Amino acid sequence: QKEVEQDPGPLSVPEGAIVSLNCTYSNSAFQYFMWYRQYSRKGPELLMYTYSSGNKEDGRFTAQVDKSSKYISLFIRDSQPSDSATYLCAMIRNSGNTPLVFGKGTRLSVIA
């Protein structure tokens, strides 16, 4: 079993829809959680960075962390065609010098 599981999709939604992207993880040592957005032929871009359980909102994006269930989510409200990209979750253990562990990424298409 991989440490971080993420459904690769693809996920196709109409413009204006609410999108829910999810990751589960198996290691309770993960304490810091990130969501990245990657457009085709570009590097991943940091969208959200959270530590504690609960919600963090930034514009149309909300990151949710449930450490008791080992489950994180990214919600996109009023989705736009420009949101079409691959979304990767990532997390770090709370033990100092360890690299990020990434999910496989979910490919999202928002159709106008």
Interface ranges with another protein (CB under 8 A): 31-32, 34, 36, 41-46, 49, 86, 88, 90, 92, 94, 96-97, 99-100, 102-105, 107
Question: Is the Cβ of residue 68 or residue 97 nearer to another protein in the bound state?
Answer: 97
Q: Determine contact, residues 108/86, Cβ cutoff 8 Å.
A: yes
> How many C-beta neighbours within 10 Å does residue 17 have?
15
Question: Is the Cβ of residue 18 or residue 29 nearer to another protein in the bound state?
Answer: 29
Shortest CB 60 distance to another protein, Å: 20
Shortest CB 111 distance to another protein, Å: 19
Question: Is the Cβ of residue 1 or residue 97 nearer to another protein in the bound state?
Answer: 97
Matching residue, tokens 């994006």: 61
Q: Is 37 exposed, middle or buried (0-12, 13-18, 19+ CB in 10 A)?
A: buried
Shortest CB 16 distance to another protein, Å: 26
d(CA 80, CA 48): 18
